[in-house]
Amino acid sequence: MFAVALRGYTALPMTERVINVREFAEIQRKHERYLKALPGGARAVIRDANLSGLKLPTVDLRDAILSHITLRHAVFGKADLSGAELFEADCEGAQLIGVKFERANLRGINLHAANLTNSNLRQADLRSGDYSPKLKRARRADLSQAAFDSADLEGANMNAVYAVGASLKGTNLKRAVLTKADLGGVNLTKADLQHASLQDADLSGAILAGANLRNTDLSNANLRGIDLTGVIATEAARAIFTLGAKSSTLDPKLAASLARHERWSDTNGRDGRRADLTARDLANLNLCGRVLSGALLVGANLQGALLARCQMILTDLTRASCRNADFSLSDLRGAILNGTDMKGAKLRATEMTPIALGARTDQPSKRLWSVNLIGANLTGADLTDADLSGANLANADLTGAVLTRTRFEGARLDGAKFDDGRAADASAAKAKPRLH
């Protein structure tokens, strides 16, 4: 029999196995009897099993133990997993709309690109999981690019979560613990963060338009480039925001040049003027959300600059110095980065794929312009969730780069260097990703 009974539990072997709908239904049936204290009931204990793609209209797995299971792209309808243990579960891309996770143990869970709209995670535990020898630290819960719009996370413990690019619009985060959380580029529009702790959190490039930040602890938080339109906050928080705004004010001439360039880009050159910032010193500037498509930044100094959520299609950054710059969530399709120094740069969830050229809106283009990263220095860069499909990385140096879920399909990698110290050939298979 697939499931084995042990001291009143329904358990699976420790080696990962694929569970089909029929087998899971039997486990669920016994668990429901267990919840009602009926004869023949057995608590569901599923460990190291694969349930990827499973589609279930109704699930009641309150207090179930589902540690280290794989639920990639699974679809749960009306589900209740309150009090359940999903320790280090892999739920990437899962559809979990409206699912109840109240007081659930979600430590170290992978929810990358999952949909948890209207879900209930009140008092859920989303702290890091076990220590990983490969990472040399505990495995963080991964909420990057996930949708938590209108979800209830009141009182949830999200200490040190990785949530770059996540959407939390209208989310209830009252009294949530988000200390040391990585929230770069997160959309917190109209979120309720009253009494939440964001101490030491990274909110660079985040959108907090209309968010409620009354009595929110923002001690030592990174607030570079945040959108505070209509934010509701106490005087103490406003003082912190004001300091951040002063530190990111642009020179009036540069601001005017960027405004003209945006008009030039939006009107396809009919109005405004293309920005020529060749060899300009733009180090440590806040350029978050700017339209820089087609701009000339050849040899520019962009060290430490904040360029998150920027439009940089066909931008020329040849031989520019971009050390430790933050390009997270930016559109770099067709960008020219030949010989660019991007050591230690953040390129998380950037799109660096080919761009179609010369096409009218009613006609497809047959010409594609790939991203040029020939000879680029990407040592120690963070390319988590970046898409470099079709990019030219010939002779690029990616030693020490973080390549979690980085896509290299069709990329040219001949002569590129990776952590093994050897040059890669033209096959993307040579890229060895690190884990979060």
**Tens of pLDDT along 98-136?**
999 999 999 999 999 999 999 999 999 999 998 777 767
* Domain extent listing, the chain: 251-436
Residue 172 backbone dihedrals phi, psi, to 5 degrees: -90, 110
Amino acid letter, residue 387: D
Residue 318, CA distances (Å) to 82, 300, 374, 431 in order: 52, 9, 10, 24
- Cα gap 380→323, rounded to integer Å: 10
- Cα gap 379→435, rounded to integer Å: 17
Q: Is the pLDDT of residue 399 over 50?
A: yes
User: Looking at residues 284-312, what average pLDDT do you find?
Assistant: 96
User: Which among 69, 75, 148, 76 is positioned nearest to 108, based on CA atoms?
Assistant: 69
Residues whose CB is less than 8 angstroms from the CB of residue 266 and which lie 6 or more positions away in sequence, other chains included: 272, 291
The pLDDT of residue 429 is 40
The pLDDT of residue 428 is 44
Q: Is the pLDDT of residue 165 over 70?
A: yes
Residue that wins the pLDDT comparison between 57 and 364: 57
Contact 185, 327 (CB under 8 A): no
Q: Architecture of domain 251-436 in CATH?
A: 3 Solenoid (2.160)
The sheet carrying 4-6 orders its strands as 4-6, 9-11, 43-45
Token match 């899962």: residue?
A: 94
User: Which among 292, 330, 329, 299 is positioned nearest to 314, based on CA atoms?
Assistant: 292
Residue that wins the pLDDT comparison between 367 and 322: 322
The pLDDT of residue 422 is 52
Q: Is the pLDDT of residue 359 over 60?
A: no
Amino acid letter, residue 145: Q
- How do residues 401-410 score in pLDDT, each as one tens digit? 999 999 999 9
User: Looking at residues 345-349, what average pLDDT do you find?
Assistant: 97
Token match 């979990």: residue?
A: 96
**What letters, b where the CB count within 10 A reaches 16 and e where it falls short, cover 148-165?**
bbbbbbbbbbbbbbbbbb
- Cα gap 120→37, rounded to integer Å: 25
Q: Is the pLDDT of residue 12 over 60?
A: no
Contact 396, 416 (CB under 8 A): yes
Residue that wins the pLDDT comparison between 227 and 117: 117
Beta bridge partners of 45: 11, 65
Quote the DSSP letter at residue 246.
Answer: H
- How do residues 247-267 score in pLDDT, each as one tens digit? 557 889 999 999 999 999 999
The pLDDT of residue 296 is 98
Beta bridge partners of 331: 311, 351
The three-class DSSP label of residue 172 is strand
Residues whose CB is less than 8 angstroms from the CB of residue 269 and which lie 6 or more positions away in sequence, other chains included: none
Token match 């559109």: residue?
A: 331
User: Looking at residues 171-197, what average pLDDT do you find?
Assistant: 97
Kindly state the helix (H) or strand (E) to which residue 176 belongs, with its residue range. Answer: none
pTM given for the model:
0.86
- How do residues 45-81 score in pLDDT, each as one tens digit? 999 999 999 888 888 999 999 999 999 999 998 899 9
User: Looking at residues 330-341, what average pLDDT do you find?
Assistant: 98
The pLDDT of residue 425 is 45
Residues whose CB is less than 8 angstroms from the CB of residue 422 and which lie 6 or more positions away in sequence, other chains included: none
pLDDT tier at 423, thresholds 50, 70, 90: low
- Cα gap 145→112, rounded to integer Å: 6
Token match 């939390």: residue?
A: 168
The pLDDT of residue 434 is 34
- How do residues 192-225 score in pLDDT, each as one tens digit? 999 999 999 999 999 999 999 999 999 999 988 8
Quote the DSSP letter at residue 104.
Answer: -
